[in-house]
Structure 1
């Protein structure tokens, strides 16, 4: 809905943009303030029962995942999501827990499950919460531990190229901010230099270059970007 609203805005269809922007806020309807997290509803609108360990219960209101993994994906309204979840400090504490409980091999698990795409944006939430060093820390960690130069070198199904696309962009130091938003998040590049050949139909110039000075497996934190 939010993507449609952005398209409508670009086309000058302001009324349609307003309608779909409002629709993009319905994620709030499944946030249970008492439980402090997203919770599925029944057909009549009442809450489904809340099982023990509900947030990490796979298939509880989700497909191939759990509410703890899916709940972070509100990329079009991070500010609103953070407010619902109790504010910046509460969200950061929960994110620390989310990553700290993730197994080193990053194979299928109940926390940051890189083997399944719904969590792929979560490391970049730290950028939005004014802790970019944690985005850099975890994106480099994932690039190192979830990918290998082997025939079966990824931790999960390629899923039409998403696993590889995540690595290519993240290892280059950039990541899409949100569907329908042309802004990019930045993070610590794995490569010392990356040259992107630009399509002149859509971009000015012929090449976009990213250079990481003094880059190494130990020296991963960005001091400045110019």
Structure 2
């Protein structure tokens, strides 16, 4: 839920996000553990899944100025959490599930570096920034793939089906899916994977092989969260029209108004929050950063109540099932050439006006 649900709530209900963080911090104190629980359920620790998602939510909320809690206590909990569950000991997390764990921890270690820097903790910021690059320690350039390592530094044997092998160092997915999860260092990831042209080609192949139903599959598997940011990577690679194409296609084909309306389980609001944001034409690749990608909205007019009596309106002129491509954009009446908005632009209220067409504009939003 840290990927979409909480970033959505920071826009429509920021008080809820603060309350959640206050509850997590109080629970960490009152339990005597002093760290953030993962997948707390019925006031009990479950430890389900992986990563340190509470740190992501905390860093995102703090960057957006919506934390109303004792930040010294919250930071202490986050710091202890990251040092208990992270990549510090070896520079990666060994098997089992080493790819998923290493990449997820590297992201929340970046979140810690951002939080520390914002709170004036320079040494901590540098320490965690270095750890946030630990994802590179699992990349095998010969195989063009992340690979799980044992504690002695040796790679796990390469499977016959390679990157498509489910559970090869990954939880509920394969390397082709989990391997894109470096939201905090996309430039570094691209360089590691062979450069922009290679990464675009790999993304194109992944989507081309994905079934139109988006049911569970080995490519873009929308039924599982690790890939949810992947359509938006095109915005960062200079081809935003492909983000527009694929986000609309996923909205149209992975969501239905019937009993089996979702291709995967709801996962505490993540699946629906992805749709709400994408249908509005916005998406955060990297919570903890205040950037929201702009994509093709489903609706012609969207009004979001952002508090203090203000509204952020998104208008998509000439929008239709054929006119899915953004031709030009105006923000509050002025030409706008970026393919993203900042959180503060949304929360200030105003109007984002998009002109839509049936062919891509290859020059808008590329810089």
Normalising by structure 1, we get a TM-score of 0.96
Instruction: Give the Cα–Cα distance (whole angstroms) in 2 for the partners of residues 37 and 223 of structure 1.
Output: 36
Kindly report which structure 2 residues correspond to 1:1-20, keeping only aligned pairs within 5 A, or say none.
1-20=109-128
Instruction: Give the Cα–Cα distance (whole angstroms) in 2 for the partners of residues 19 and 37 of structure 1.
Output: 26
Q: Unpaired runs of 5+ in structure 1?
A: none
Instruction: Give the Cα–Cα distance (whole angstroms) in 1 for the partners of residues 121 and 260 of structure 2.
Output: 47
Is the aligned partner of 1:209 residue 2:209?
A: no
1:121 corresponds in structure 2 to 229
Out of 219, 224, 237, the residue aligned to residue 111 of structure 1 is 219
Instruction: Answer 1 or 2: higher relative contact order, Cα 8 Å, separation at least 6.
Output: 2
2:266 corresponds in structure 1 to 158
1:60 corresponds in structure 2 to 168
Q: CA RMSD in A?
A: 0.9
Instruction: Give the Cα–Cα distance (whole angstroms) in 1 for the partners of residues 210 and 134 of structure 2.
Output: 30
Instruction: Give the Cα–Cα distance (whole angstroms) in 2 for the partners of residues 51 and 199 of structure 1.
Output: 52
Give how far 1:129 is off. Answer: 0.5
Give how far 1:220 is off. Answer: 0.4
Out of 308, 323, 334, the residue aligned to residue 219 of structure 1 is 323
Is the aligned partner of 1:102 residue 2:206?
A: no
Give how far 1:104 is off. Answer: 0.8
Instruction: Give the Cα–Cα distance (whole angstroms) in 2 for the partners of residues 5 and 86 of structure 1.
Output: 26
Instruction: Give the Cα–Cα distance (whole angstroms) in 2 for the partners of residues 44 and 78 of structure 1.
Output: 28
Give how far 1:128 is off. Answer: 0.5
Is the aligned partner of 1:73 residue 2:181?
A: yes
Rg larger in structure: 2
1:186 corresponds in structure 2 to 294
Instruction: Give the Cα–Cα distance (whole angstroms) in 2 for the partners of residues 216 and 225 of structure 1.
Output: 17
Give the ranges of 4+ consecutive aligned residues of structure 1 lying more than 3 Å apart after TM superposition. Answer: none
Is the aligned partner of 1:173 residue 2:281?
A: yes
Instruction: Give the Cα–Cα distance (whole angstroms) in 2 for the partners of residues 155 and 166 of structure 1.
Output: 13
2:55 corresponds in structure 1 to none
1:133 corresponds in structure 2 to 241
What is the CA deviation profile of residues 60-103 of structure 1, one whole-angstrom value per residue up to 9, with x for unaligned ones?
00000000000011011000000010001111111011000000
2:105 corresponds in structure 1 to none
2:31 corresponds in structure 1 to none
Q: Unpaired runs of 5+ in structure 2?
A: 1-108, 331-367
Is the aligned partner of 1:21 residue 2:129?
A: yes
Instruction: Give the Cα–Cα distance (whole angstroms) in 1 for the partners of residues 197 and 314 of structure 2.
Output: 32
Give how far 1:177 is off. Answer: 2.8
Instruction: Give the Cα–Cα distance (whole angstroms) in 1 for the partners of residues 177 and 235 of structure 2.
Output: 18
Give how far 1:54 is off. Answer: 1.5
